[in-house]
A and B are shown apart, each in its own frame.
Chain A
Amino acid sequence: MSTKDESARVELLQGTLDLLILRTLAPGPAHGHAIAKAIERQSEDVLQVEQGSLYPALHRLIKRGWIAAEEGVSENNRRAKFYRLTAKGRKQLHLETTRWEKLARAIARILKPAEESSS
């Protein structure tokens, strides 16, 4: 368990993590640690995830055929596994992103008046 401030940490829903991985891999292949770092960085450390839970998610995506794993050599010349988006995964990313945006807009619209009245 993370010892970070619990309130700042948002538990990631499984589907969300999948989407984030796909998004992270969109520019190009990356290894596991880089993916974890990227997610942390992009979400400005708000979406805090136990890095380990990345791995079941990666394998779930491989099983679905959305990403693929390849043996590669890292910058410090060591054997490392690189994950890359497949064509199927790219399509899925697009689909999920659209769905998320819709959902996020809907939620935002619901929450906005409440925010205004409380401020």
Chain B
Amino acid sequence: MTRRRRALDGLEEDIREHLERETRDNIERGMSPADARAAALRKFGNVALVEEETRAVWRRPWLDQLLQDLRFAFRVLRRDPAFTAVAILTLAVGIGLNTAVFSVVNSVLLRPLNYPHPERLVWLGDYDTFVHRDMVMLSDFAGWRAHARSYNAMASFSYRQIAVANSRGAFPVGAVLVGGDFWAVTGAHPGLGRLFGPNETNTLVLSWDLFQRQFGADPRAIGSAVTVDGRAATIAGVLPKGFRFQFPRWWTAQHPEPVEAYLAIDQSDPKIRGRGGQAVASLKPGATIPQALAELNSIQRHLHPPRPGQPAPQNRLHIDALLDQLTGSAHRALAVLLAAGALLLLMASVNIASLLLARASARRRELAIRLAVGAGRLRALRQLLVESLALALLGGAAGLLLARWAIALLVRLGPQSIPRLDEASIDIRVLVFTVCISVAAGILFGVTPGLALWRVELHDALKEGARSSGGVFGLRIRRVLVGAEMALAVVLMTGAGLLFASFLRMNARPAGFAPERVLLLKIRLAGTQSNPAAQQGYRNELLRRLGSVPGVESAGISTQFGFSGAPAFPNDPSPTQTHVLHLNAASPGYFRAIGMQLREGRWLSDADQGGVVMLNESMAREAFGAVDPIGRSLSAPQPAVVVGVLADLRYSHLDADAPPEVFLPFPNRMTLGFDVAIRAASPPGVMPAIRREMAAIDPTVPAYDVKTLDRALADSIAPQRFNLFLLGTFAASAFVLALVGIYGVIAYSVAARTREIGVRVALGAGRGDVVGLVLREGMAVALAGIAAGLAAALALTRLMASLLYGVQATDPRIFAATASTLAITASLASWRPARKAAAIHPIVALRDE
């Protein structure tokens, strides 16, 4: 309790007690009780007034003054509603965008993981050059877990869509196959049932949501038997409602749905040990990452001793803090966004400073009067600051409303690859951030006009019509500020323009490709089709039935895999040069379904069993150079004769050129999983019939990841689209702010120079001369800003080279388009004030001042 509170506490009681004593004394003196009471009250005086005066003793004068300043500030803001609305709106945009971006930063980068001791959690990575991400061989993982001493717990997981079947039917679920001490790393406790131990196999743990959705929250499901991909498994338990899978998910671009099931895998099964997965661990207290890495490296050398005659296996192990690994890719994008947001808020503040400067000139006399009647300069300056802070906080409040809406939009549009984006919200940290930037902006735009007014000379300001000296001072600052805004707009617009050009290049597609008419789905055969003959039978039956579905033009299957090695292509300078090859085994219908174009030779046909391949153009170039590849032989990786060349087509990723690719015949391949492509006039229209046909072959095999190729391609550039959306929003805001800025400064300049222009017109200047005068002034500011912006953009856009596709970071067309757009719109923004200046009547102008 403060001294003040303590002292005032019980004041009423004290006074009441006083009055009672006095009344009692009076009664003792022989008065009647009523008279005694009245006399006591009379003697005491006005009780309410006494209380008021007593409280007044404790009142803080600065608080009173502040309240007074605030009241005055709100009066001033109300007096000029147009200005206030524009200023609040401008600030709301600036502060709202920053708040939204910060809430994302807060949720993605700053909030700790929901697992115990998040600071000890690490990512164990083994970079795989073929898939371009970390992939740990599960056999290596088993070795690490058995021998490493730096860890409390170590777990592996690999994503898989599994088909869970019970008596009610089969459904696909996004799952991870986990090994090691997964539950120890996550610190999870069962919500229902139990969690499986490190040595159990074929045991399933469900997420709370899945348990509700697919099992109707029926507790009898716990401990019941189900089939997972055709194998028998048991449901051990259900996770609590709040548990989330928070490890890095490389698969989110293709599989955005959450991880809802955890399957214990048999780590002793050699087939499983040969697979890849991801590894995480919890370090022992005191263990450091370098120590842990050194230990892991030595174990790895032990697991893979160098073999004579072969190059030593390359070691790409690395250990990162889990949070860094999780946010690594989002880090840079968020830094760019924060910087863009800061620039935008700076521009908004500059605009308001500019508006306030204009107003400050009008208020010089008010200020001068206040100074003349004895207000201190500091007090006057504080009044101005309080006004700007009030404005800033109002803008901040409006910004918060805007941010709530923007966050919802960001969460909806944001790519799944940004981890934990969906948790973004306005919490106390975000609120503090918003208040801080609002206050900072308020001080920023409040100090500038304050400084201009600081120089107010009483005598000059009080003189009638004297407004030039302070006005010119303010005008010069404002020109510089608006030039800076133009420069910022150029930088942001150039960046957005480059992203937009890349986006167009990415979406450019050859004639006849029509990916919106291609339906993709994935199939993974369950254990019942464990032998190649049964698989072959399933595939043949599937293709036969798909071909008979009305509306299907062509259908095919494919499976893609990789090869990395030295296949010794004819074009190689040395036979040991290594290549990374994309291999795609496909049935003949697949090429037609996707919409590939034949350049030379012939298509693969049903008669081809092996020994023949088709190449895409990149592959043909890489392997044979300028030589015609048809009829030539190639080791890819088995020896085969090239029978055809396909046009390069970006049919899986839009953000990179088609990689060199080899197409092989499909038959007799032992593979449980494969992709199906179906070309149809209306993909959604044929899907029910396709599901019916699939159920007719085997009801336990569901179709995964059903989407059109168009959609899959759009998803492949979701992060780029998101970047474009964000930077585009920022650039558009910057553009508008810069134009408002230049309009404001020119309009004000015209108003300040009314008399001068009147004199010019009186001396014979024509309308054209006046318009030219004003336009020249506007364009001088705009062009200087644009030139500075182009120089800055040239330096800054290089940093975003990695985000671009098919466009140089210094593409002169984008720079020219940005510069001319701004120049033209800036001249339009100056046009209105110029017209107004031209309409000035000399007599009115000279009399008016």
Contacts and interface: CB of A to CB of B under 8 A. Distances in A.
Contact of A55 (B13, B15, B22, B25): B15
Interface residues of A, number: 26
B40 to A, nearest CB: 8
Interface in B44-90: 44-47, 49-51, 53-54, 56-58
B17 A32 contact: yes
B618 to A, nearest CB: 86
Contact of A80 (B7, B17, B53): B17
B11 interface: yes
Contacts of A109: none
B14 interface: yes
A80 B14 CA distance: 7
B54 A56 contact: yes
A62 B42 contact: no
A33 interface: yes
Contacts of A81: 10, 13-14, 17
Nearest to A71: B10
Contact of B7 (A31, A36, A59): A59
A11 interface: no
A52 B49 contact: yes
B14 A63 contact: no
Contacts of A43: none
A50 B58 CA distance: 21
Contact of B54 (A2, A31, A55, A79): A55
Interface string A10-54: 000000000000000000000111001100000000000011110
B18 A56 contact: no
B43 A2 contact: yes
Interface in A37-96: 37, 50-53, 55-56, 58-60, 62-63, 69, 71, 74, 78-81
Nearest to A3: B42
A50 B44 contact: yes
Interface string B403-445: 0000000000000000000000000000000000000000000
Nearest to A62: B7
B21 interface: yes
A32 B44 contact: no
A51 B17 contact: no
A53 B18 CA distance: 12
Which of B3, B25, B42, B45 has the most A CB atoms < 10 Å from its CB? B45
A68 B824 CA distance: 74
Interface string B1-38: 00100011011011101100110010000000000000
A29 B13 CA distance: 18
A31 B7 CA distance: 14
Given A2-B43, A51-B44, A32 B14 contact: yes
Contact of B18 (A2, A36, A50, A79): A36
B155 to A, nearest CB: 62
Interface of B: 3, 7-8, 10-11, 13-15, 17-18, 21-22, 25, 42-47, 49-51, 53-54, 56-58
Interface of A: 1-3, 31-33, 36-37, 50-53, 55-56, 58-60, 62-63, 69, 71, 74, 78-81
Top 7 A-B residue pairs of the complex, sorted by shortest distance between their CB atoms: A52-B45, A52-B50, A50-B45, A33-B21, A59-B57, A56-B53, A33-B18
